[in-house]
Amino acid sequence: MPKDKIKILVTDDSIVTSKFLVNMLAMDPDVEIIGTASNGKEALAFVRKMKPDVITMDINMPIMDGFEATANIMREIPIPIVIVSSAYSPAETAKKFRALEVGAVGILPLPFGTGHPDFEKSMKHFVSTIKLMSEVKLIRRWAHTPNTIKPAVDKEYLVQINPEKALESKVSIIAIGASAGGPISVKEILDNISADLAVPIIIVQHIDPEFTQGYADWLNLSSHIPVMIAKDGEKMEAGKAYMSPGDYHIGVKSLNTIMITKDLYESSLRPSVSFLFRSLLNVYHNKAIGILLSGMGADGAKELKLLKDEGSITIAQDASSSLIHGMPGEAIKIGGASYVLSPSQIVNFIQKHVPTLSK
């Protein structure tokens, strides 16, 4: 029996961009373009009649922009929506990330044009990501406010694999790895942990380099602790979160000292969660908390287990709160998670087990 094609709606007010996306996506034999829309109002009307598997959505459009369209579609008929960026501006970037808050599953840059040397690479990444996002199941999501924290209840810690050894050691650093679906989970954690946290945080988020600064700016809008783009050799401070510049690995070279490097890609990724977790293993041993959040693939899963085996605390996001349970699921599968928690439970765990400056 032949496999059903992935039905895509392309939404963009630029005729040139829309045609470019349609032609590029239609080259894939698994894809069927079932419609185009030039603004959010047209997209919403189309979705009400025809249910695509996935929607590409521009942000800056007349009549109804992509943010409003995403919010309306997710309220009425939850369908995976990928925000596609054709231009950079700080204001538009902020709106793109706000679209994640109302239900968009990801943000992608517009691939390079056909004459660009990286066209093939950017096209393959774009098409494969759109196809993967079409499989995301969105019913049950977005009916709640991400910042709502459930009461801390010990029985919510669904898996506890010999955590006593880990909790005997003093936590000196928190490291978070995330990919698709991760931005919202990272935001929920940073929005709700104490501002006077007594340890630094390092974050690896798989995101296009074009959006790295915008992502940090978006997190800073509501985070209780400052989020910054790190520099090589920078000394980390308690109660601050650090991310790598776009297309760089981030790790630690010694206690409280950041390492930023252009080392080779790991599994086609830079930054890589595996790189970060390995560096923690070499420097912090059993004094770290490693957290693996929503994302496709297996980046960081093996290294999370190495941290656990060393005596550090390791946490994998649970399936029910993950947009894509690939990375944390792989870690759980190989026994790499001391705890399996939702983002709200991760906040409760940190509040309970990580010291604050006021204590």
Catalytic residue ranges: 179, 206, 299
The closest of 258, 262, 264 to 279, measured between CA atoms, is 258
Cβ–Cβ < 8 Å for 341, 320: no
Phi, psi of 95 (to 5 degrees): -70, -35
Residue type, 164: E
Cβ–Cβ < 8 Å for 73, 113: no
Length of the chain: 359
Residue 341 CA to residue 317 CA, distance in Å, equals: 5
Residue 356 CA to residue 167 CA, distance in Å, equals: 16
The closest of 349, 270, 266 to 314, measured between CA atoms, is 349
DSSP-derived pairing of the beta strands 249-254 and 257-261: antiparallel
CB neighbour class for 242 (10 Å; exposed up to 12, middle 13-18, buried from 19): buried
CA distances, 38 to each of 62, 106, 352 (Å): 8, 20, 49
